[in-house]
Structure 1
């Protein structure tokens, strides 16, 4: 979504409504864990002043991420509400560092939308059947639940003889008394 400042001047008396679908496939380059993203529906409004553009957005979409346990695709719907400001005046930009600077005569909202979506990516996400998985192995890695690991560890400890006491175990095996 790009607009020129001159193009926005016709909305100076009132708010400019927004209702568009935006393709944000470029977030997959910035975060390779995002396997897919549907077109994001952007709704809201923007008001323009003499030196600043203020927008209120609502972004809705679905991104596909890998399950942290099984690596299966997990769809994560998201709804993001944000208020963003853009300015092309140096004094306003110097006074507030939370205002996005406008370079040239065009306001491009796509990088802002990308940042908002990237902030919604969770550190971990699990598929609905991830709890059913107890153990898995691959080349150089393995996965097991805490319960299965502790049970296996207890079993090994019960059958393992302390090497310091190995000679004592042989004492009872001898038959020459």
Structure 2
């Protein structure tokens, strides 16, 4: 996935098909990401005078730890992106996040790697099981929470609650 600019200039104002299979050894230092299956990178490269636009479609399967059970699960990723590589841009220029400066060679691997890392889910689970609870905490539904909050009345406000209840009884009569 690396081309020299002189090689690409031969296809000025034309489109070049990109169809690559990439195997990344490590993609990130996150502990919940165990690895990737083969990554498919497809797309089209449009070579212009000073800019090269690349429409990318990335498909891969990420092996991750389930957030609840810590079991190995497979998470499919499908990413579509349009990236531009500009010969006149400098590293110090403030560029849009999809515009990359390029000097002698156009290398898609770092861009593909970054797109995968950015699109990794933070929390992933295949389990429908709700955690049972732990010491000093438990899992409850929203209805149970609402009932519990209704029952808890600040002792300083208990007199006001009785006034509200008596006012409601007077309105009903």
Tell me the C-alpha RMSD between the 2 structures.
Answer: 2.9
Unaligned runs of 5+ in 2: 145-173
Q: Which of 1 and 2 has greater Rg?
A: 1
SS in 2 for 1:70: coil
SS in 2 for 1:42: strand
**1:133 shift after superposition:** 6.0
Aligned CA distance change for structure 1 residues 132 and 2 (closer, same or farther; 3 Å): same
**1:25 shift after superposition:** 2.6
Query: Aligned equivalents of 1:96 and 1:116: distance in 2?
Result: 17
Unaligned runs of 5+ in 1: 151-177
**1:132 shift after superposition:** 6.9
Alignment partner of 1:40 is 2:39: yes
**1:134 shift after superposition:** 3.8
Query: Aligned equivalents of 1:145 and 1:38: distance in 2?
Result: 38
Contact persistence 1:72–1:127 (CA under 8 A): no
**1:85 shift after superposition:** 0.2
SS in 2 for 1:79: strand
2:60 — aligned with what?
61
1:9 — aligned with what?
9
SS in 2 for 1:61: strand
**1:36 shift after superposition:** 1.4
Query: 1:93-139 CA distances to partner (integer Å, 9 max, x unpaired)?
Result: 9574331011x4111111111111011111211123x517646x8xx
State the TM-score, normalized to the length of structure 2: 0.70
Structure number with higher helix proportion: 1
State the TM-score, normalized to the length of structure 1: 0.68
1:87 — aligned with what?
86
Q: After the TM superposition, which segments of 4 or more aligned residues of structure 1 sit over 3 Å from their partners?
A: 93-98, 132-135
Query: Aligned equivalents of 1:145 and 1:2: distance in 2?
Result: 53
Aligned residues: 141
Query: Which structure 2 residues correspond to residues 1-177 of structure 1 after superposition, within 5 A?
Result: 1-29=1-29, 31-90=30-89, 94=93, 96-98=95-97, 99-102=99-102, 104-128=103-127, 131=129, 134=132, 146-147=139-140
**1:90 shift after superposition:** 3.5
**1:65 shift after superposition:** 1.0
SS in 1 for 2:8: helix
1:161 — aligned with what?
none
2:150 — aligned with what?
none
